[in-house]
Amino acid sequence: MNVSGIGHIAAGEYDEKISISGSGKIDGNIRCVALYCSGAVTSTGYIVCNEDIEVSGSCNFKKGLTASSITTSGNLSVNEDINASETIVVSGTLSLGGSVKCSLLKCSGSMDIGKGAEAEEIHISGKIKCAGLINAEKVDIKLDSFNTESTVGSIGGCDIKIHNERKGYKNSRMPLLSKLMGADRGFFTVNELVEGDSVAVEYVKAPRVVGRVVAIGEGCVIDNVQYSEEIEIHPDAKVGLCEKI
């Protein structure tokens, strides 16, 4: 089923792929093989796809999305939850009122999550705001001048890395130039807790970091660090209390 002009799709089950490249409206709940949106799409119901959902246009879904994989390089707004049995890839903008659940979450664009995110692996090189918990076996967040103002509630997992990919300009003989050239860096802010088995962080501001093996890198401001086996703290990091548990 293709919509390339202005049209609407009625609620129901479709044994086919749906492609919308114009201006379309989905009235109610639908189940289909796959959904491709490259135009302007609104939906009033739940969308369930056996295969993929791909968005390269501007889409506003009032309910939730469920698919094998979900990809957006456009502007995707969802009022409730999104669930994917495999991957969710965000290179555009995702605004979500609910939570994210998938196997692999990758974001090089911008995500605003109303609740939390759960996956086996989470890789973020874009900007994220998340009111709740980011939870995965592996969490890898790369910072640059674009996403150092990101904010999340808490981060939990086994292997957690938050590292600065853009170190800035450094010249020991020109300290003023070095300072000005590196002045675009801010913090990745965690409002409550970072907790994992192995935790390595740079340019993170958080009340508490807990782990078996913990490395607090350059630019961090941490109120309380707790570790059970091994700890390393960069000389430029600011740590209020460090204790072995």
Percent of the chain with pLDDT over 90: 79
Instruction: Express each pLDDT in 131-141 by its tens digit.
Output: 999 999 999 99
**What whole-number distance in Å separates Cα of residue 196 and Cα of residue 214?**
9
What is the Cα 27 distance to its own chain's centre?
A: 29
Separation of first and last alpha carbons in the chain: 60
Residue 94 has pLDDT above 90, yes or no: yes
The model's pTM is: 0.90
Give the residue from 153, 150, 151, 114 showing the smallest Cα distance to 133. 153
Nearest-CA neighbor of 196 among 211, 183, 213, 177?
211
Please provide residue 180's backbone torsions phi and psi, each rounded to the nearest 5 degrees.
Answer: -70, -40
Radius of gyration of the chain (CA): 21
- How far is 98 from 96, CA to CA, in rounded Å? 6
